[in-house]
Amino acid sequence: MSVKSLRRLIFLVVLILFTVSPLSVTTTTGQLILTDLNGVKIALYYGDPSSSASSRTALQFMFSWMNATVDILDASDIKYGNLDGYDIVVIPGGWAGTYNMELAGTGITEIRNFVRDGGAFFGVCAGAYFGCDKIRWEGEVLEYQMDLFEGYGIGPVEEIAIWPNFAMTEIIINHSSSIIDFSGEPSNHSVMYYGGPWFNITDKEGIHSVATYKANNESAMIAFEYEDGRVFLSGPHPEWEEGSDRDNSSWENGFDDEGSEWNMMLSVAIWLVDGHATNTETTSKSSETAPPPNLLGVSLILIGSFGIAIVIIYVEKGPK
What is the rounded CA–CA span in Å between residue 4 and residue 16? 19
| pLDDT digits 0-9 by tens, 232-259 | 999 999 999 988 889 998 776 678 778 8
- Residue 201 contacts residue 218 (beta carbons within 8 Å): no
| pLDDT digits 0-9 by tens, 129-151 | 999 999 999 999 999 999 999 99
pLDDT at position 71: 98
Mean predicted confidence (pLDDT) in 82-90 = 97
Residues 6+ apart with CB under 8 A from 47: 74, 75, 94, 98, 99, 102, 103
**pLDDT at 119 exceeding the cut of 90:** yes
pLDDT at position 46: 96
What is the rounded CA–CA span in Å between residue 207 and residue 200? 10
**Helices assigned H by DSSP within the chain:** 3-25, 53-65, 75-79, 96-102, 106-116, 126-130, 262-273, 295-317
Report which DSSP code applies to 50.
T
**pLDDT at 300 exceeding the cut of 90:** no
pLDDT at position 163: 97
How many residues in total does the chain contain? 320
3-state secondary structure of 209: strand
pLDDT at position 319: 46
- Residue 126 contacts residue 164 (beta carbons within 8 Å): no
Record the pTM. Answer: 0.79
Burial 110-148 (b: 16+ CB within 10 A, else e): bbbebbeebbbbbbbbbbbbbbbebbbbeeeeeebebeb
Share of the chain above pLDDT 90, in %: 68
Mean predicted confidence (pLDDT) in 105-122 = 98
